[in-house]
Structures are given as C-alpha cells and as structure tokens.
Amino acid sequence: MQQELWIENDTQYTSKDIKVLEGLEAVRVRPGMYIGSTDQRGLHHLIYEVLDNSVDEAMAGYCTKVELSIDETGLITVSDNGRGIPVDTHPSTGKSGLETVMTTLHAGGKFGGGAYKVTGGLHGVGGSVVNALSSYLRAQVMRGGYTYSQEYGQGEPTTEVVKSDRTAEHGTTIFFQPDPAIFPNIEYDFETLTNHFKEIAFLNRGLEIQFTSPWHLQSRKGDIERTYFFDGGIANLVRNVNRNRKVIQKDPFFYQKIVDETSVEVAVQYNDSFTETVFSFANCINTQEGGTHLTGFRSALTRVINDYSRKSGFVKDDQPNLIGEDVREGLAAVISVKLTDPQFEGQTKTKLGNAEVRSVVESVVAEGLNRYLEENPSVAKLMIEKCLTSQRAREAARKARELVIRKNALDGSSLPGKLADCAERDPAKSELYIVEGESAGGSAKMGRDRSFQAILPLKGKILNVERVLQQPDKILGHEEIRSMIAAVGAGEGEDFDPSKVRYHKIIIMTDADVDGSHIRTLVLTFFFRRMQELIDAGFLYIAQPPLYRVQAGRQVDYAYSEEQKDALMEQYEGRRGVQVQRYKGLGEMNPDQLWETTMNPETRQMLRVDIENLVEVQDVFSTLMSEAVAPRKSFIQAHARSVKNLDV
C-alpha cells in the first residue's frame, strides 16, 4: 500500500511542475538573494552596485570622477568618466554589449581578466540586478565619439540601443528608479550614503566623488552637495578615525607596495584610547569579517613590534613577548589590498579567503613597518611604550578580574536573585527585559508571559563603563552590571562567548524621560564596550513604550510618537472630553497596559540595535561618555538646535 502511494505521488510530479525563471525574473522573485533585503539597506545597495562599476573603472586607471544624485522624483543618477560600456555586438548573445550587461546575470568584463585586473564587482550581477529591480532605467554611454542610450522597464528593454549626438567625452551614466512594487518604502538615509561615498574616496586616491540632491533625505530639506577627494588615501581615513582622539604619532605610518600583481596599502596611527579600530578592504569592499589580509597584517604588526622592542632594549630577555592584544590597544589602522582574483565568502563579500594574500600582506607590512621604526626612533619609542603600558594593564586587569570573579561567582552558575526567569530554556525562544526601576520591574513581572519572558529590574543608574575600561575590578564590582552579566550568562569582555547567551532577545526597557534615556545610554555603553558580539548577533533591542494614552469615551488608543498623538487628536475633532495622558514612567502603566503596549509580540514596537558604521559609533561613545569635556561640549553646541522632547 505504501509502495503504491509512493508511485502515485511520483507520477503526479512531472516536468511541468518545475518552474523555469527566464532572464531576470529570478531577481524580481527573490530580490533578497541578490541585494540582501528590500528595505532601506536594499535601496542603498542598488546605488552601491552601480557605483562599484564606476569604481572598477577607477581601479583600472580610466576613471577620475563619479557624480551621483537623487532628484525630487527619486530618480537616481550615477555618472562616471570611464571608458563607457561597450556597444558593439556581443558574439555570444547577438545583442549589444550594453544590453547584454544590463539584462544578463553574470555578464560583464570581470571574468576573463582582460578588461579588469582588479574589480570589486566579482559576480558581474550589479547592473542587471539594478535593472531588474527598477521600474525604469536608462543607460547612456559616451564612447568612440558618439552617445548611445537604451531604456528598460523592470529589466526588459523598452527601446533599441540608440546612437545619437557626437561627443568628445567618454563614460557611462545610469539613470534608474527603484520599483515601488519591490521596495515598499523608498526613503534614503543621508548619513549612510555619504559615509559610504567618503569611504570609497578614501580607498581610491585621486578619485573625486560628488553627491548632490535637491530632494530631502530623512527630513533634511534643501539642496545637498558633498564632494570627496583624498590625495592621502587611507592615511586620510586613519586621520579621520582619530580626529577626536589624542594621537601618539603626529602623522600616520603609510606604506604601499605591489607584489605579484597584488597591491597592498597599510596605514597605522596609535591613539591614547583603549580600543582597537582596524578596517580591512579587498578591492574597495569593506571586509567586515576580515580574512587573510587582516590576519597577515596582525601577524606582521605583532612580530615587528616584538622584534624591535627586544632589539632596542625595551623588552628584556627574561620578559614575555607582547601579544596581539597589547599591540592593538589604541590602534587605528587600515589594510587595503587590490588583487586580480579575490575569493570572497558569498555574495555579501565580507571575508577574504585567498590564502596567498596572507603571506604577501605580512611581508609588505613587516618591510614597511620595520623601516618606519628604524627611521623614526622617537615615534617608535612612544608606540612601544603604549604597547608595554597595555601589557601591564592587561596583566593587572587579569588579576583583578580573577579576584572579583572568585569573590562574586560570576562564572554563570548562579543567577541574580532579582531576576524573574522564564520557563523556556531554548535561547532562540527566550526574551530578557532589562527594566528601569523596581516599580516598573514589578509591573513587567506581573504583565509578562512567564513562559518565555524574563525580567531583570535595575536599581538606579549603572556605572559608566566608558570611563573605567581599564579597571575591570570597578566594572565587575558594580552590583547591577554583575546582575546583567550573570543573567545573560555568556561572560563579558574578552571572555564573552555568544554561544552561551541565554536569551536571543535582550530588550532594554526604560522610561520615556531624560533619566530613562540616560539609563538606556549607560546600558548600551556597557553592551557595546563589553559584549559587542551580542549586538553583532542581533540580540539587543530597545523597547518602545507609548508616549501617550488617548481616550475618547470608552475608546482608548496609544501613541508612540508626537505625530501619532496629533493624528489621533485630529481623528477625534468634534468629540468632547478627549483625555490625553503623557507617560513619562513605565510605572504609570498597570501590568495589562504594559503588556498590551510594550511587551506583547503581536502588538509591540521594538528597535533592534545595529552597528552600521563602527568608526562613527566608536566616536560617539568616546565623545559623549568619556571623561574628556571639550569634545562633548562641541557636540552639544553643534546639535543644540536639533534637540526634541527636551525636559526642563
């Protein structure tokens, strides 16, 4: 019987059940496979894909300027002065090179090795994917003394390639409108875009990138114009990282060399902070997960500094070597490689895998850094002293931490008494609410779903860990911080292990007032400095309790913003007795209200904490939370007029 059933089902599954997606249809059906998502990040990715093609021309030595714009209709324009996409007939497709590139996946000049020796767009899908996900696209090419153009709709050509005016110029211009059928909310972030454009300019010395837009981006009104051009390349990027920090060297160390068609650039400058800020790039792609080039850089840095320290007498024969952690404290550095055949992990291209690159980078960095230290002994002395101070602090911190751990049993085996744990033991299904105050903690405990929601109330404002990063005894000696570490269950600092996290949603829930904002910032500072991998894993969230309760008769609504409150008031024009309650504390809500508005997965609103630009995040925490007063004063003065919801 079972065999007959199998045969019957088998005969019902035939070739007609197999769907074949023609051309670029697959991109429109599964856009996330090609651009990651269809939210704002996906929108930005479209711009980056087109920009990457222009940058490839720059890396090949043919492009010196890229102009980008977004107009009031949302039309995006990316124009370069490169060679221009070929327009002659392609031997395999029978179509023009332009139409082939814009309508065929994995078609481009990046596979044969002739047109591009170095390229960031490894997979050759950029132009065609952007075309597929645009409601309208027009490609214009200036090449061979003429202008050529072709228009498309949702990836399909709507015109032939048209040859028009004579021109002495050369280059490619792409005009495109993202398809609202694919992207439900077409809105761009000014800071994210300009930071990316600036980064690309840093990585390509001599390339000018100009961005203009009369269209408002994220509530910014009026014309926007930014131009980025850096003669110093990645050395300028390192200076930018250290712009608000006290540096050990006046000028960054910079070295560049080409070995076996692999270009290696490195820039290093130490500052007096306790954090490491190192960026790695391969063919202008930010390899956020590092790779072989970063490994080679770190190995060379540690080896060269140790060799120089012993040779110069800074480290005696009976003293231990500096370790990587010692030489990277206070380090701001960029390692950038450009190679002919990069091997990335996946389409996201966040980690470089070429094994041979490690030895190339290690030898180049060692050669350049050795020469730099020998030629600059006074600077070398300052760098070595910084590393030795880090070594002594690390050893003292280790002893202090061991003492505190023994004293307070922070090994994760005991949970804090104030924690109201949940019944669920699967971390992926469990949530931890870190709640401001005992009163709100009591309401949260009563209103929660005990099966999967745990509550940890905090008493008052926790320690500002930014000011005591080198004093783990103070950090671990703080009762509320110990409670958070024990509740999360994965250790902290260098011993943090994300695989041991007990809850995959850790939610900061504070009052909607100045004190609540301060407490939230202090908690965020702790997680960023001592458990950054928790944020990287996407486990940290911020609860969004309502700001207002609006009641008209028996009808009750909650507003999570001023705009929602105003809309509700407008909806109730003509009704009498409308009552508006402004919530400033979570304790003002009873348990049922807290559940309904802030804790119920079906109705709540939450923000996930992400790190999109590590340099900017590092800078903000250092500026606002450290002991240095001058940078904080400047920040406040610069942003005073943009403050909203000021409590006085």
Evaluate whether residue 631 is within a structural domain. Answer: no
Average pLDDT of the segment spanning 2-27 = 50
- Residue with more model confidence, 72 or 531: 531
pLDDT for residue 273: 85
* Res. 295 pLDDT band, cuts 50 70 90: very high
Q: Give the domain CATH number at 486.
A: 3.40.50.670
pLDDT-wise least confident of 3-12, 221-230, 261-270, 519-528: 3-12
- What confidence score (pLDDT) does residue 639 get? 66
pLDDT digits (tens, 9 = 90+) for 97-108: 899 889 888 665
In a domain, 593, yes or no: no
**pLDDT grade, residue 224 (50/70/90)?**
confident
Nearest to 305 by CA among 246, 238, 374: 374
Q: Are residues 442 and 368 in the same domain?
A: no
| More confidently predicted of 1 and 221 | 221
In-domain check, residue 1: no
Instruction: List, for residues 331-381, the tens digit of each pLDDT value.
Output: 999 999 998 888 887 555 678 999 999 999 999 999 999 999 999 999 999
User: For residue 421, is it within any domain?
Assistant: no
Q: Is the pLDDT of residue 326 over 80?
A: yes
Strand 431-436 with 505-509, pairing: parallel
559 within 8 A of 550, measured Cβ to Cβ: yes
Other CB atoms within a 10 A radius of the CB of residue 185 amount to 9
Report the pLDDT value the prediction gives residue 124, as an integer from 0 to 100: 42
Structure tokens at 375: 């030629």
Decide if pLDDT at 589 tops 60.
yes
Same domain, 273 and 390: yes
Q: What is the pLDDT of residue 502?
A: 95
Confidence check: pLDDT of 302 > 90: yes
Per-residue pLDDT at 512: 80
Task: Decide if 580 contacts 569 (C-beta within 8 A).
Answer: yes
* Angle, vertex CA 444, rays to CA 439 and CA 447, nearest 5: 130
Q: To the nearest 10°, report the CA torsion of 49, 54, 55, 56.
A: 90
Same domain, 381 and 526: no
557 and 528 in a common domain: no
Phi (first) and psi of residue 489, to 5 degrees? 80, 15
User: Looking at the domain assignment, is residue 642 inside a domain?
Assistant: no
Could you tell me if residue 324 is inside a domain?
A: yes
Determine, yes or no, domain membership for 601: no
- Please check whether residue 412 is in contact with residue 487, taking contact to mean a CB–CB distance below 8 angstroms: no
**Total number of domains in the chain:** 4
* d(C-alpha 470, C-alpha 476), whole Å: 12
* Residue pLDDT, tens place only, 158-197: 999 999 989 999 999 999 999 999 998 888 888 889 989 9
Indicate the SS3 state at residue 479.
helix
Shared domain for 259 and 393, answered yes or no, is yes
Averaged pLDDT, 6-24:
46
- State residue 404's pLDDT score: 62
Would you place residue 626 in the very low, low, confident or very high pLDDT band (cuts 50, 70, 90)? confident
Q: Does residue 149 sit in the same domain as residue 86?
A: yes
pLDDT at 517 over 90: no
In a shared domain, residues 363 and 253: yes
* Of 56, 171, 61, the residue nearest 118 (C-alpha): 56
Whether residues 54 and 193 share a domain: the answer is yes
At residue 58, φ and ψ (nearest 5 deg) are -65, -45
Of 65-69, 153-157, 332-336, 400-404, the one with minimum mean pLDDT is: 400-404
Instruction: For residues 437 and 326, state if they share a domain.
Output: no
> Rounded to an integer, what distance in angstroms lies between the CA atom of residue 539 and that of residue 535?
6
Residue 438: what pLDDT? 81
Give the per-residue pLDDT at 10.
45
Structure tokens at 300: 């060379």
Q: Which of the two residues, 272 and 6, has the higher pLDDT score?
A: 272
Q: Are residues 277 and 242 in the same domain?
A: yes
CATH number at 44 reads: 3.30.565.10
CATH number reported for the structural domain that contains residue 383 in this entry: 3.30.230.10
Catalytic residue list: 436, 511, 513, 515
Query: Would strands 579-582 and 156-157 be described as parallel, antiparallel, or unpaired?
Result: unpaired
> What pLDDT, on the 0 to 100 scale, is given for residue 609?
94
What pLDDT shows up at residue 114?
Answer: 53
Pick the residue with more confidence: 495 or 463? 463
Residue 220: pLDDT band by 50, 70, 90 thresholds? low
Amino acid at 153: G
Cα 53 to Cα 467: distance, rounded to the nearest angstrom: 44
Between residues 73 and 414, the one the model is more confident about = 73
Domain range for 566 is 549-582
Contacts of 283 by beta carbon, 8 Å cutoff, 6+ apart: 59, 118, 119, 120, 122, 337, 338, 339, 342
What kind and span of H or E run contains 475?
Answer: helix 472-476
Residue 383 and residue 452 share a domain: no
Q: Is residue 5 part of a domain?
A: no
Between 210-219, 325-334, 549-558, the lowest mean confidence (pLDDT) is in 210-219
pLDDT tens digit string along 390-416? 998 888 877 776 766 665 545 444 678
In a shared domain, residues 123 and 188: yes
pLDDT at 22 over 70: no
How large is the greatest C-alpha to C-alpha distance in the chain, in angstroms? Answer: 87
pLDDT tier at 553, thresholds 50, 70, 90 = confident
Mark which of 177, 205, 228 sits at the end of a domain: 228
